């Protein structure tokens, strides 16, 4: 598919951590850390995904201090408005300069029973409101044993892409559920194999141009010690980072993976 011109994306999913005051302090510290390291040069895109209650505070800080981080949300409603208590519309997020939204995270699929159909509806809603969906796909240990490495995530992605325009701006995140929070990441080759298969799904559904421009991230026990090895793989365009994104020095080191030897 030609030369890879995709800008790497390092995304920090804070999950249900940090109140709005802690979030502001964290973003300030991370910004200072990266400035001191002279790494805010645009070679890597950084995005943070705080809880809903933090988004306005973080957005205000980013805008006021001209901090070069993209802002993301951890979920979005499939609905525009109406009697949907507790849900948040993509229209509301767009007004807060939110760029990205995580959809279909394994925790949402497991704890909130989100089906492929619900994920697809949320992806459609995100695109409708000008948000970039970060579509999460992945397999459990049982899935891995029964179906192999890429069958389940490929099926999830194909379902999520149905009905999207071929020029839709999306990100895909492969998160092997068996690796999340375990401290045991997939190997770089495992990540590459699945990410390549997912790029093939994008090509099948949205075309080769979409496959060439769409970033595919790896997520699952990503840390400073292993990020460079993943980023050497041709189809891994970044990382969706969980626990390590809550530690300033660790997350900063992940963002600066290009400084690591051999990258």
Give the 3-state secondary structure of residue 238. strand
CA-to-CA distance for 35 and 64, rounded, in angstroms?
16
Choosing from 107, 114, 139, 175, the catalytic residue is: 175
Name residue, tokens 């390291």: 37
Give the closest residue to 170 by CA, choosing from 138, 208, 216.
216
**What values do phi and psi take at 8, rounded to 5?**
-60, 145
Structure tokens at 21: 């005051």
Give the 3-state secondary structure of residue 70. strand
b/e string for 4-28 if b means 16 or more Cβ within 10 A? eebebbbbbbbbebbeeeebbebbe
Q: Is-catalytic flag, 105? A: yes
Tell me whether residue 85 is exposed, middle or buried, using C-beta atoms within 10 angstroms of its C-beta: 0 to 12, 13 to 18, 19 or more.
exposed
220: Cβ–Cβ under 8 A, 6 or more apart, which residues? 138, 175, 176, 177, 178, 179, 180, 182, 185, 186
CA-to-CA distance for 160 and 169, rounded, in angstroms?
13
Q: Is-catalytic flag, 79? A: no
Choosing from 105, 107, 114, 129, the catalytic residue is: 105
Name residue, tokens 């092997």: 176
Catalytic residue positions?
105, 175
């Amino acid at each position: 598919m030609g030369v890879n011109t995709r800008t790497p994306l390092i995304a920090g999913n804070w999950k249900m951590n940090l109140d709005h005051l802690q979030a502001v302090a964290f973003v300030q510290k991370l910004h200072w850390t990266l400035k001191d390291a002279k790494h805010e040069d645009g070679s890597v895109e950084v995005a943070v995904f705080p809880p809903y209650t933090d988004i306005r505070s973080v957005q205000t800080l980013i805008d006021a201090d001209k901090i070069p981080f993209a802002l993301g949300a951890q979920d979005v409603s499939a609905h525009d408005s109406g009697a949907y208590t507790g849900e948040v519309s993509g229209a509301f997020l767009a007004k807060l300069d939110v760029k990205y939204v995580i959809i279909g995270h394994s925790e949402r699929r497991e704890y909130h029973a989100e089906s492929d159909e619900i994920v697809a509806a949320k992806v459609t809603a995100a695109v409708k409101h000008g948000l970039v969906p970060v579509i999460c796909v992945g397999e459990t240990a049982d899935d891995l044993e029964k179906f192999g490495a890429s069958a389940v995530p490929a099926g999830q992605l194909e379902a999520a892409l149905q009905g999207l325009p071929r020029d839709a701006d999306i990100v895909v995140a492969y998160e092997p559920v068996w690796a999340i929070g375990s401290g045991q990441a997939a190997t770089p080759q495992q990540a590459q194999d699945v990410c390549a298969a997912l790029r093939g799904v994008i090509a099948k559904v949205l075309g080769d141009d979409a496959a060439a421009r769409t970033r595919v991230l790896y997520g699952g026990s990503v840390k400073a010690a292993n990020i460079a090895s993943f980023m050497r793989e041709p189809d891994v365009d970044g990382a969706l980072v969980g626990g390590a994104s809550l530690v300033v020095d660790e997350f900063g080191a992940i963002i600066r993976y290009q400084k690591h030897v051999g990258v």
